[in-house]
Chain A
Amino acid sequence: MQDIRKIKDKAIRGLLMLAGLSVILFLGGIFSMLFYYGVQAFKEVSFSGFFLSTNWNPSGYDQSAYGILSMVVSTLFVSLGAMVIAIPIGVGTAAYISEIAKPAVRETLKPIIEILASIPSVVIGFFGIVFLGPLIAKTFGLTAGLNALNGSFLLAFMALPTIISVSEDAIRSVPEEYKAASIALGATKWYTLVKVVIPAASSGIIASIMLGFGRAIGETMTVLMATGNALRMPGNIFDSVRTMTANIAIELGEVPYNTTHYYSLFAVGLILFILTMLVNFMADRITQHVGRHKL
């Protein structure tokens, strides 16, 4: 009897380990596939032609060009714009929920924020086309609202749940003693929040922003629908932009297999993968940092 239980125990432990390892396997598999295909693009495209040129036109009328610079800039442009909008709202909401809101309000707000995270991106993109786009056009006196600003607003909306929930955890884990000490010294609640609590939680808040940023960079459907996808280098927030993700989504469906165009789309995917991995890695390092130094 005892033996069977031991064997069962071992078997289950082994299976669980397999499940855990499979994640690494998938990640490694995806990376090596992207790398294997992506690198082959450089057989025909020079490094400078790929990274430094702003002209992307694989099925050109006269000749092909594979410059990704304006797409990289567009991606960062839209994502950074999203962060400018999302950080104040997100951190403010987190501070409100964890420090100011009454328990009843907090318990209502938290599930609502979680629902926000589960809205499909295609729905948000549709909202961008039919509502936010025309609104932006009207507000700023533009002729069309499918532009970088529209994308930034929608991405901010999508990054908010991540920023709020991670920041809120960080703010909540600031020890009571800090606040008590601050209040005891005669500081107001507002002063305590801004000068004591938020700085003490800053690592967690920064990590939340990095995670939100990673989410924004990788988002595809929303920007594909809402930003107009023009290929040129964006000059201001009212220009139409095409992000790396949108470009892959647009072109991968039609591309003939095993051509330079096909490989260069994988190369774009590889850059994107490295970019989001770096951002997530930095977020992870910052959170670990918090874990070690907290008290």
Chain B
Amino acid sequence: MKFGKIMLIGTIALSAILFAACGGRANRSNAIQISGSDSEVNMVQNLAEAYMAINKEQSIAVTGGGSGTGIAAMINRQTDIANSSRAMNASEIQQARDRGVEPVAIPFAIDGLAVIINHELPITEMTIDQISKIYQGIITNWSELGGPDLPITVYGRQSNSGTYVYFRDHVVKADYTNNMRNMNGTAQIVEAVRSDRTAIGYTGIGYIVDKDGKVADRISVINVALDENSTAFSPLLKENVESGDYPISRALYQFTNGMPEGRILEFIRFELSPEGQQIVANAGYYPIGEKYLQQLKEMGIIE
């Protein structure tokens, strides 16, 4: 009899939990939800913490997962702000419209994308064309670039990453070789390049440089030239990225559903303020330039 009672109570409790889980989405808290780009997640976390230190009543939850994940979450109305290290593509915009979501793109930082190789390789410079050929699987041995006779092991991100898409569309300009190892996050690329003496990878510059501008151990950052006749520039120098001399730089975005208002707008204004931009710089990225600031003024996001 006792056993029966326990089973009965157990069954009822289980059904109650199931029902509660189904209805869980109704009560939404007052916290600002931010999700998306893994390149941006640490920086936005720092911005959120600084903001919460000033505005004690506001709470902000920042998660990663990749730009595509953040954009999908915004389209499905599961996040307030989507971090994305690339612009939205046509089919995503169409999808959003179909669901009554009006995405607004807000650039808030500049990122130099670094091409990194293992420190044992004696190569310091590459052209965009050479990098593209390596990632397409046309150049497959380091000797073709004047290095040792070793095969090239190509590391990249997975397709949910904005860096994956940006790098493919702006540097490789073709499909990646299907020999590329698709790593689950920037940290794994950096880890692989460190331990594999034939490795090449790419990463946001903020990920491998600390506050004092020191590069992570056992990694060389490649100086990149636009083509054979141009000079190669290092992304480690702020001027090179800000001036656009370093050829692989991009704007980092946040997307909102419709023009941001209220507490979300206030947070975005904080990010764009001199104080917020200082946090951006401390995280290893570059402040948004005059061109984008003008654009943001026209949009009415800043005054």
Using CB atoms and an 8 Å cutoff, list the residues of chain A in contact with chain B.
Answer: 8-9, 11-12, 15-16, 18-19, 55, 57-62, 129, 134, 137, 143-144, 146, 224-225, 228-232, 240, 242, 250-251, 253-257, 259
Contacts and interface: CB of A to CB of B under 8 A. Distances in A.
A61 B168 contact: yes
A230 B151 CA distance: 16
Interface string B142-166: 0000000011010000111000010
- Give the secondary structure class of A's interface: loop
A231 B8 contact: no
Contacts of B172: 61
Interface string B89-111: 00110010000000000000000
B160 A144 contact: no
A257 B72 CA distance: 8
Given A144-B192, A256-B92, A229 B158 contact: yes
Interface of B: 4, 7-8, 11, 65-66, 68-69, 71-72, 75-76, 91-92, 95, 150-151, 153, 158-160, 165, 168-169, 172-175, 178-184, 188, 191-192, 195-199
Contact of B95 (A8, A224, A256): A256
Nearest to B65: A253
Nearest to A253: B69
A240 B92 contact: no
B92 A224 contact: no
Contacts of B75: 256-257
A15 B7 CA distance: 9
A284 to B, nearest CB: 26
Contacts of A8: 4
A211 B237 CA distance: 57
A262 to B, nearest CB: 10
B199 A61 contact: no
Nearest to A255: B72
A223 to B, nearest CB: 11
A54 B191 CA distance: 29
B181 A254 contact: no
Contact of B184 (A137, A224, A259): A224
A259 B91 contact: yes
A129 B188 contact: yes
A47 to B, nearest CB: 22
A62 B178 CA distance: 15
B160 A143 contact: no
Given A12-B4, A256-B75, A129 B159 contact: no
Given A231-B182, A250-B159, A250-B182, A61 B174 contact: yes
Contacts of A229: 158, 181-184
Contacts of A251: 158-160
A143 B199 contact: yes
A75 to B, nearest CB: 16
A12 B7 contact: yes
B158 A250 contact: yes
Contacts of B174: 61-62
Given A12-B8, A134-B195, A144-B153, A253 B178 contact: no
